[in-house]
Structure 1
């Protein structure tokens, strides 16, 4: 099962290595990881999507993370109301006569053409992982040359968010 865990840490050299090493020692596969400085330049936020066998394993990882000196706060946000996004760049084969069709497809997913070459296009799409996966599958027949993904980044929703906004912000 996949779990999304956020960790606030002191923004210091080597912290990422120590945290990912903890996951490796426990033999957990990190499906995605994003790291960035928060509103406070001395603190970074790490978002991990990990694959675990049971909730007991998640609890063990969280206990181990709490022992790290640099760790300030840990939260398993898998079951919470969150906003989660991923950025993907996809370079596909695209002859001149195919570009209109590809642009129409990209528009449906709110993707943007960010580079056009003689025989290829690079498209950028952001959104929920399911949306990103669907987009990749739809452009696959054109011939994917390269894919670069950021991994999931997530944050809890506002307490005042309405049910309507939760439905409309998924994509």
Structure 2
């Protein structure tokens, strides 16, 4: 199972290196990593997607807390969250299929950010499922390049689980 960890750390040189070293020593892979300033000066938030079972993630959390600059570790996998990712995708686009690609992009609320003679570059923002879906839809045109930021997430203060609501609406 993939777990999403939200880690608050002191924003100092070498913190990310120590965390990555811990993961490497334990044989864990980080599938997605996003780092940036948090709401407070001198604090950074690291959002990671890590494969592992509950016991492994619990051990990893304990090991993270042993690192000096780690302030808080939260497994937000099962917690209602707002999750987003940014992806830039360059797609082959000829004059005959350009309109179709733009129409598909509009369905996913993607924006065209660059137009070349034989390509379009799209900006897509959304949850990770949306990223997979648009790549599947546009792969038949030929995808030249993809750059993704990795997932960022914050716990929903409302406590509303939108994934649960989507399942319920699909049943109706």
Scaled by the length of structure 2, the TM-score of the pair is 0.91
State the Cα distance separating 1:56 from its structure 2 match: 1.1
Give the unaligned 5+ runs of structure 1: none
4+ residue stretches of structure 1 with deviation over 4 A?
160-163
Number of equivalenced pairs: 166
User: Which residue is equivalent to 1:151?
Assistant: 150
The yes-or-no answer on 1:15 pairing with 2:22 is no
In structure 1, the residue corresponding to 2:121 is in which secondary structure?
A: strand
Output the CA distance in 2 between the equivalents of 1:110 and 1:4: 25
Scaled by the length of structure 1, the TM-score of the pair is 0.92
User: Which residue is equivalent to 1:119?
Assistant: 118
Output the CA distance in 2 between the equivalents of 1:48 and 1:20: 11
Question: Deviation string for 1:136-157 (max 9, x for gaps)?
Answer: 0111011100000001111100
Please tell me whether the aligned partners of residues 81 and 161 of structure 2 are also in contact (alpha carbons under 8 angstroms): no
Output the CA distance in 1 between the equivalents of 2:160 and 2:74: 20
The yes-or-no answer on 1:102 pairing with 2:101 is yes
Please tell me whether the aligned partners of residues 80 and 161 of structure 2 are also in contact (alpha carbons under 8 angstroms): no
Give the 5 Å matches for 1:31-42.
31-42=31-42
In structure 1, the residue corresponding to 2:82 is in which secondary structure?
A: strand
Please tell me whether the aligned partners of residues 80 and 160 of structure 2 are also in contact (alpha carbons under 8 angstroms): no
Give the unaligned 5+ runs of structure 2: 167-172
RMSD of the alignment, in Å?
1.8
